[in-house]
Amino acid sequence: MAVSDKPAGGNARKRGNALSRMVRYRMVIPVIRGRGDPRRTARGVCVGLGLAMMPTVGAQMVLVGIFWAIMRVIAPGWRFNVVVALAWTWFTNIFTLVPIYYLFLVTGNVMLLRENPFGGFDAFSTRLMELLQADLGMFEYAWVTTVAIFDEWGLPMVLGSFPWAIVSAWLGYVWCLKFLERLQRAKQRRQESKRVASE
């Protein structure tokens, strides 16, 4: 039997590195590069994270655009950074989607005082991945997979997502605002140090 030269856990490490890179480049850097009022950037994280935590895989980016257009009409003073919102919809991705959606399903069943009639995690994971294999265009894929998820798991999945979406959106807003305030203070300290050094 051949012995592999690769260290045990190498695949897990690669997945962890890929996830870390994705979080940094797709989610953190857009926050850092956000311009203007930090609250607009924090609202972008809030909106993106809130929509990411809904069982609408493939449709979240479209929903951000729809929400942005609606808010411009009904609450023009409540602007958010749409680029940051789009970036944060990637919180649910190929690495996180299955456990997060299973968490929605379990939460929904608890809220409805039901036992889980859909089998365990392995059965759920296998079925969800089958539904996500559709080879379609972006808009058709978003529609077909969202409808299939609702058809398969229905009310428990949708209901169970609401508490997670609300809490995640709020935590995302608070985290982002504090993060940007820390960055601003650090930038001011650097500028002050340079000014003092140049005198």
Q: What pLDDT, in 10s, does the model give residues 13-60?
A: 666 566 566 666 667 777 887 777 899 999 999 999 999 999 888 788
98 vs 135, more confident: 98
From the CB of residue 93, how many other CB atoms can be counted at a distance below 10 Å?
Answer: 16
**Res. 1 pLDDT band, cuts 50 70 90:** very low
Q: State residue 23's pLDDT score.
A: 63
The pTM of the whole model exceeds 0.85: no
Q: State residue 20's pLDDT score.
A: 66
Q: State residue 192's pLDDT score.
A: 81
Structure tokens at 177: 């605002």
Give me the percent of the chain exceeding a pLDDT of 90: 36
Q: How far apart are the first and last CA of the chain?
A: 71
How large is the angle between the packed helices 97-111 and 138-198, nearest 10 degrees?
110
Inter-CA distances, 108 with 57, 121, 128, 153, 162, Å: 18, 15, 17, 10, 9
